[in-house]
Amino acid sequence: MTTRLNPYINFRGNARQAMEFYRNVFGGELRMNTFGEFGSDDSSMADQIMHAQLETPSGYTIMASDTPANMTLTPGDHITISLSGDDGIELRGYWDKLSGSGKVSMPLEKQMWGDEFGSCTDQFGIQWMVNITQP
């Protein structure tokens, strides 16, 4: 038996755009269902995402949904997603796409511990850390 840990990100009306962006960043298969598909009585939420799941070729799973207006949401305050490994080409590609339309708080560059590391906030307010381990 195995277990998995994967981020579940809540958005306010832009989950579809965010998940399509993440599919462009990471590749993979994206499945999305709307509140309307699940029979929601709230017509303002009918086209909003009730559940989205991205399964990437690298084995990542990212889930997301739109948060109804009557629920509290403070995006980015409670989650930072960390990507790490030794595949510098793959990780730099993710970094370029995530940071390209976002805000870099620490450039991806060699750090005192010897790895390349950077942090950014993407265009949807989600914080990311990328660490490329060195041999």
Residue-wise pLDDT for 6-56, tens only, equals 888 989 899 999 999 999 999 999 999 999 998 888 888 899 999 999 999
Q: Do residues 53 and 26 share a domain?
A: yes
Closest CA to 21 of 44, 54, 61, 60: 54
Domain coverage including residue 102: 80-132
What's the pTM value of the predicted model, to 2 decimals? Answer: 0.78
Let me know if residue 72 belongs to a domain: no
Q: What is the pLDDT of residues 52-96, one digit of tens each?
A: 999 999 998 999 999 888 878 776 556 779 898 999 999 999 999
Structural domain includes residue 2: no
Residue 75, pLDDT score: 60
CB 15 within 8 A of CB 49: yes
The Cα-based distances of 3 to 6, 12, 103 in angstroms read 10, 29, 33
Domain count, the chain: 2
